[in-house]
Structure 1
Amino acid sequence: MNADTPTKPAMDAETLEFIRGLFALVREGDTEQLGALVAKGVPVNFRNEKGDSLIMLATYHGHLETSRLLLEAGADANVPNDQGQTPLAGVAYKGYLEIAELLLRHGASVEGGSPDGKTPLMMAAMFNRLAILELLLKHGARIDAVDSRGMTAVSLAKTMNAADTLAHLTALGQTA
């Protein structure tokens, strides 16, 4: 290493433990303790080593009130993790309707696709999340979007044997 190359300062054990504890609070949905930390200035868009933001983890683990706290404190509803997955796509996969509604109210992109082009609507279709699919359509999700393999929501629903979403998409005139 030459003298002109800056080095990253190593985090001390206390700081690392604090960060681990912060992410544990979010995974557990401990809104009260997290709220106290946010009130003291903990950044709500903090990300872990995998690129998962606090809002990504709160939503993915189904913690509505923790998600609400973070979003109301300014968390970015669209920040993807290192794999390019967005909170809304994760919620569509998991099936958390109330959290999907919350994310959309806080500016989540209905088309926020992953690097392979899969949109939240496609995730909802694949995993038979009919209520989320309908919500996304009401918010303007493109029913005809195509992923990197040329698959649409209806073809993905068919491939995954997602009967409810396939029937709904077919009733809307979509074909595989």
Structure 2
Amino acid sequence: MLRRWVLASVASLPLAAAPLVAAGEIMSGSPLHAAAGDNDVATIKKLLAEDVEIDARDRNGATALLVAIHGNRIEAAKALIDAGADVNAKDKIEDSPYLHAGARGHLEILKMTLARGADLKSTNRYGGTALIPASERGHVETVRTLIEAGVDVDHVNKLGWTALLEAIILGNGGEPHQRIVDLLVKAGADVNLADGKGATPLQHARMRGYRAIEKLLTAADAR
């Protein structure tokens, strides 16, 4: 029921609230945005040598670095980050290079943003840290990396969910989500921190028949 509500809520968002830049698609951006989307490192370096604004925005508020990350353009992202692009610059829907890399599981780029001062407390339009969507989407190594970086494992988003709750509620109970639950529990996540309606992670796991996750939680004294 909760999953259907969330999916329906997201589907009902206006177009302006949905990601507007697909891989390689530039929305009225600069030549630097185009080069980033094309993974054209030579052109990126040439433009930067000509003193173009590295953090200029397209009409959606995205920097060239965010455009590169939308397409997982690793070489372009590296060139821009090495040149000083802002890894925390948010677009109009509150995505930043760091947040988007984390949510999408673009692990190599995520590590670059962490090394260049990613704001671990920054949140997306749902009020969630990078750890929460990474947990929901089953990005195991991304979750491990974010935990090791120091992201708050018990941060609660606007839906009233932590990373642990979202991994259970929006996950499928399979092996990646089991590993993520295990990582979160071992990192000290509060296994009894309930959602806004008072349902605990264990109750959600039992409701969905996620036996392996239920065992992980009960072993951690979940109620």
Q: Is the 8 A contact 1:92 1:121 kept in 2?
A: yes
After superposition, give the CA deviation of every residue in 1:87-110 in whole Å (9 maximum; x if it has no partner).
Answer: 122112221111111001111112
Q: Partner of 1:23 in structure 2?
A: 33
Q: Partner of 1:74 in structure 2?
A: 84
Q: Which amino acid in structure 2 is aligned with residue 28 of structure 1? A: D
Q: Partner of 2:70 in structure 1?
A: 60
**Residue 144 of structure 1 aligns to a residue in which SS?**
coil
For structure 1, list consecutive stretches of 5 or more residues without a partner in the other structure. Answer: 1-17
Q: Partner of 2:128 in structure 1?
A: 118
Q: Partner of 1:169 in structure 2?
A: 184
For structure 2, list consecutive stretches of 5 or more residues without a partner in the other structure. Answer: 1-27, 172-176, 192-200, 202-223
After superposition, give the CA deviation of every residue in 1:59-106 in whole Å (9 maximum; x if it has no partner).
Answer: 221122211211122211101110111212211222111111100111
Q: TM-score scaled by structure 1?
A: 0.83
**Residue 151 of structure 1 aligns to a residue in which SS?**
coil
The number of equivalent residue pairs is 159
CA-based RMSD: 1.7
Q: Is 1:48 matched with 2:58?
A: yes
Q: Partner of 1:9 in structure 2?
A: none
Q: Is the 8 A contact 1:89 1:123 kept in 2?
A: no
Q: Is 1:105 matched with 2:120?
A: no
**Residue 70 of structure 1 aligns to a residue in which SS?**
helix
Q: Using the aligned pairs only, state the percent identity.
A: 24
1:169 deviates by 1.9
- Distance change >3 Å, CA 160–CA 96, structure 1 → 2: same
